């Protein structure tokens, strides 16, 4: 299991966390290459099903990275995302998949180092949990 390299889907908002990822890159901060970033206009766009489908399609973990609480460009998108992440975690609990595979993070556009730390933290967590039990089961 030591050489297991997880695949992690990241839903990043255009205004904050995607800019933070950009900053992490231009500041040459190192972080694990396991994340695959999907840019969304606002994390309020993410529904529970996006998270579930990402897992079903082979991701070992998923996290949503939105603006700091209270600073969403669209006022409350990140709060909506927070609730939906919570729902997704509860649903995963029901079908016996570790809820820790799904997380919600908040960061500002200036926090490139936080983006890198979150990516490291999440990669560590998923490495400990091992591959997703749903991996390779998607037939559609």
Q: Does residue 129 interact with another protein by CB under 8 A? A: no
Q: Which is nearer to another protein, 86 or 108 (CB)?
A: 86
Distance, in Å, from the CA atom of 35 to the CA atom of 66, rounded to the nearest integer, reads: 16
Give the range of 11-19, 27-35, 51-59, 73-81 binding another protein by CB under 8 A: 51-59
Is the Cα torsion angle 61, 64, 65, 69 positive or negative in sign?
negative
Among 41, 70, 90, 110, binds another protein (CB under 8 A): 90
Residues 6 or more apart whose CB falls under 8 angstroms from that of 100 comprise 125, 129
Which residues are near another protein by CB under 8 A? 47-50, 52-53, 56, 87, 90-91, 93-97, 133-134, 137, 140
């Amino acid at each position: 299991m030591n050489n297991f390299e997880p695949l992690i889907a990241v839903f990043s908002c255009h205004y904050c966390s995607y800019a933070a990822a950009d900053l992490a890159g231009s500041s040459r901060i190192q972080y694990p290459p396991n994340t695959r970033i999907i840019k969304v206009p606002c994390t309020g766009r993410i529904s529970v099903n996006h998270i579930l489908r990402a897992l079903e399609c082979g991701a070992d973990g998923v996290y949503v990275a939105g603006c700091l609480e209270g600073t969403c460009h669209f006022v409350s998108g990140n709060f909506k995302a927070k609730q939906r992440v919570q729902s997704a975690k509860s649903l995963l609990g029901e079908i016996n998949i570790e809820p820790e595979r799904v997380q919600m993070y908040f960061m500002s556009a200036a926090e490139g180092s936080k983006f890198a730390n979150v990516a490291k933290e999440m990669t560590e967590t998923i490495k400990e949990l091992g591959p997703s039990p749903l991996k390779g089961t998607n037939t559609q």
